[in-house]
Structure 1
Amino acid sequence: MKKTWLLLLLSTATFAQDIHFNSILVDTHNDCLTACIEKKVSLDQDLTGINHSDLARFKKGGVDYQLFSIWCDGEKANPYAWAMREMDSLYAVAARNPDKMVIAKSWKDLNRAFNENKLAAQFGVEGGHMIESDLKKLVTFYDRGARYMTLTWNNSPGWASSHADEKNPAYQGYKGLTDFGKTVVKKMNQLGMIVDISHVGEATFWDVINTTTKPIIASHSNSYSVCPVSRNLKDDQILAIGKNGGVIHLNFFSGFVDVDFFKKDAAFRKNHTAEIDSLLKTGMQTEYAFTVISDKYPQESDAIKPDLEQLMKHFDHIVKLIGVDHVGLGSDFDGINSAPKQLKTVLDYPLFTQALITRGYSDKDISKVLGGNFLRVYKANNLD
């Protein structure tokens, strides 16, 4: 009996590998460019034990198409200049590795990358503050390969309100999209830059739904019903995204997977306050100081992580509401200090595929989730 069970387990794992590596895998959100700058390393180095990702491990994990997050927090001076630095860093990696990756600016470029077995790379601008309220800068982002923009990060750019500000009683700014904010959305539709509603507040979300003429995405968000935090999407929002034809890409961050994680993480950080403060004094952004400490104490940080099955509860809930055509992957790797225990790095994506097989999904549906759903939204937004 034990031998039969073991053979079945091995057979399932092999089947998962086959489906996984024969599908186009798209991850809509990875922060490794920021992580590389903060840690003073390069993406084309072996970053095992340093980052969740590097160029070689994308290939080994089956990633075919990565949208690289361009991010800085709301405190960073000259966010547009910082964004250009991050984009320059990926262009430099691409120039050094023309046999391994291509920055794709068209559907033709994407197909060429897939056919030549190279990583297709594009950018996602994480936070509307990075355009500095200038539509010309938005166009520059697009021209350089940005194919979506998250309208807000946790801060509000002045023309759209974030989830964090909308729930803050002290926030005195405009809630939702201002007239300029609606102009930004319309310009994005015109350019072919996908509107991303991860991080936005509910007022902004509904203004987007009533303004956009193209399918939208949540590049890295989960279900509020499963994990009630303001970064996750409520059921009426999920239903609206389904009606819009958009896609919700699952975020691996433990705190958006399991609400109990935050208390455990607070205790972990308290135990390492002095080390975190020391990193902050060097100028490191707060999010990355937490990540460095989590990596330094893996046994402690692993002990408080949720299981992969908890992430799959988000998947199941979204599929129940709007179907398998509206879910994808937006890991947030290298922008988070904790993910489900089984999903430690980009090498672990096949385990997600195996979880889909265990649930009985067909090859066709699994390929949709891994990348096909995003590709549909990309085509609906772009005329290239």
Structure 2
Amino acid sequence: MKALLTGTALLLVTVLTAQNAGKLHQKAVLVDGHNDVLSASVLGKQDISHRLTKGHSDLDRWQEGGVDVQFFSVFTGPKARNAEGVYKDAMEEIDSLEHIAARNPDRMILAKSYADVKRAIKQKKLAALIGVEGGHMIEDDLNKLDALHQRGMRYLTLTWNNSNSWATSAMDETQKGDSLTHKGLTDFGVQVVKRLNELGILVDLSHTGEQTFYDAIAASSKPVILSHSSVWALCPVFRNVKDEQIKAVAKNGGVICINFYSGFISKAYDERLAQLNKVERPIIQDSLWQVYKDSARVQQEWRQYFRNQVADVQPTINDLVDHIDYIVKLVGDDYVGIGSDYDGISALPKGLEDVTTYPKITEALLERGYSKKSIRKILGGNVLRVMKAGFK
């Protein structure tokens, strides 16, 4: 009987926590710092105005997940999709977002100011903001930076995984090290940061190398954002930020938006992934070829084996919240937010399969004893503060 009562009490607590989390989540303003649906789905002619069966995001699911403000990543790699170059690629993606907004005026607003964001929230519409992911897209031309600002760019990620002529990336600083011709920001890179400040565009330091990170912090007169980065101490990979970087962001008054990618959340997942790809893959695929003599069948069997293996080390929502918790304990609850990287990543923590699942994060924070005030900051208040300070 005692065990039954205990079980019933636990169930009641769980139900009440979920109900409280749901109410809090709907009242809070949720800001997601990074989503790649434009390059992942929209360029492939998927209409995100309606619920999709593929991918992580669309307008229906954002509404279900309680998302109020979404930064849409404008992304192209170092090799352009068309002959006119990467700047043209960026402009085409912005065109696509404008078309979506024009078709859905009752559901979303393409925001270009803090006032636009607040108006969208008040009208219960999705505030859509543009973040350009990679400084190579300005093609070393401040006039093109100005033109992207006119189109609505409200943060610029100084680098993607590739460095550019004026800033070095985390990947290159980690892998190439002393072989780089320069490390950090050049004089032109400092000009870029200062121009971003002047125009009211946030300086995004996700993907940047440590030297670029510190050079940009020193050059910026306004709070910075890391739109989709996690904690190095919990998962030591090149894309995550170290304790001293976290402290520097707090001193700057900026915000770090936690990335959901499993390989940036879980050290065990990252290590198992490396073992599978670097060691086991060639051996297993060779063995499968000896059995099947069919490349399609070999790939099918490998993918199944791969899925089974990574499932054992797939992180959970609690592993994700550990990253939030770490930053809060290190520097306080004013400097952390959400930067999912949905539609730009291949593996997610259990329970966070798409944008409808954000309320589970609110529930997990409540279960850890976070106050409603702190949760509202983490879900969106901190990013809104940085927007207010950084936008014009």
Please report the TM-score for the alignment, with normalisation by the length of structure 1.
0.90
**What does the per-residue CA deviation read over 1:15-72, in whole Å, with 9 as the maximum and x for residues that have no partner?**
0000001011000100011111454312213213x11001110010000000000111
Q: Which amino acid aligns with 2:111?
A: A
The structure 2 residue matched to 1:152, chosen from 133, 152, 159, is 159
For the structure 1 residues 294 and 146, does the alpha-carbon distance in structure 2 shift closer, same or farther, using more than 3 Å as the test? farther
Matches for 1:125-136 after TM superposition, within 5 Å: 125-136=132-143
Q: 2:378 aligns with which of 362, 365, 369?
A: 369
Q: Could you say what secondary structure the match of 1:154 adopts?
A: coil
Contact 1:294 1:338 (8 Å CA) reproduced: no
Q: What's 2:72 paired with?
A: 68
Match of 1:286 in 2: none
- Matches of 1:109 and 1:365 in 2, distance apart? 25
Map of 1:218 onto structure 2: 226
Give the secondary-structure state (helix, strand or coil) at the position aligned to 2:155: strand
Give 3-state SS (helix, strand or coil) of 1:76's partner: coil
- Residue in structure 1 matched with residue 38 of structure 2 by the alignment: 33
Say whether the 8 Å CA contact 2:42–2:48 is kept in structure 1: no
1:209-288 correspondence to structure 2 within 5 Å? 209-266=217-274, 270=281
Q: Secondary structure at the match of 1:249?
A: strand
The equivalent residue for 2:192 is 184
Give me the whole-angstrom Cα distance separating, in 2, the residues matched to 1:298 and 1:98.
40
Please say if residues 272 and 310 of structure 2, whose CA atoms lie closer than 8 Å, have aligned partners that are also in contact.
Answer: no
- Indicate the larger mover: 262-271 or 364-373: 262-271
- One-letter code of the match for 2:153? A
Q: CA deviation at 1:249?
A: 0.4
CA distance in structure 2 between the partners assigned to 1:133 and 1:83 by the alignment: 14
1:104 aligned residue: 111
> 1:302 deviation in Å?
4.4
Further displaced range: 105-114 or 320-329: 105-114
CA distance in 2: counterparts of 1:125 and 1:273, whole angstroms = 38
Deviation at 1:299, TM superposition (A): 6.5
CA distance in 2 between counterparts of 1:304 and 1:212 reads: 39
Conserved 8 A contact 1:301-1:338: no
The letter of the residue matching 1:60 is: E
Using the alignment, how far apart are the partners of 2:219 and 2:321 within structure 1?
32
1:108 is displaced (CA, Å) by 2.2
Q: Cα distance, 1:265 vs. partner? A: 3.2
SS of match in other structure, 1:21: helix
Q: How big is the alpha-carbon RMSD for the aligned residues of Structure 1 and Structure 2?
A: 2.2
1:138 maps onto 2:145 in alignment:
yes
Mean Cα deviation higher: 242-251 or 302-311: 302-311
Deviation at 1:268, TM superposition (A): 6.1
Question: What is the CA deviation profile of residues 65-100 of structure 1, one whole-angstrom value per residue up to 9, with x for unaligned ones?
Answer: 000001112223511111111111111111111100
Q: What is the deviation of 1:273? A: 8.1
Which residue pairs with 1:20 in the alignment? 25
Q: Is the 8 A contact 2:106 2:125 kept in 1?
A: yes
Write out per-residue CA displacement over residues 100-152 of structure 1, whole angstroms, 9 at most, x where no aligned residue: 00101122211221111110001111110011111111112211121111100
Q: 2: distance between equivalents of 1:340 and 1:261?
A: 10
Write the distance in 1 (CA, Å) between the matches of 2:201 and 2:258.
20
User: Residue 299 and residue 117 in structure 1: after superposition, are their counterparts in 2 closer, same or farther (change >3 A)?
Assistant: farther
Deviations 1:263-311 (A, max 9, x none): 433566649989xxxxxxxxxxxxxxxxxx989x976764442112111
Contact 2:204 2:226 in 1 (8 A): yes
Matched, 1:91 2:98: yes
Residue of structure 2 aligned with 1:350, choices 349, 353, 359? 359
2:201 aligned with 1:193:
yes
Question: Sequence identity of aligned pairs in percent?
Answer: 48
* 1:113 aligns to 2:120 (yes or no): yes
Structure 1 runs not aligned, ≥5 long: 275-292
How many residue pairs match? The answer is: 364
The range that moved more, 11-20 or 313-322, is 313-322
Q: Distance in 2 between matches of 1:28 and 1:373?
A: 11
Correspondence for 2:314:
305
Gaps of 5+ in 2: 287-301
Larger radius of gyration: 2
Residue 209 of structure 2 is aligned to residue 204 of structure 1: no
2-structure distance, mates of 1:132, 1:114: 34
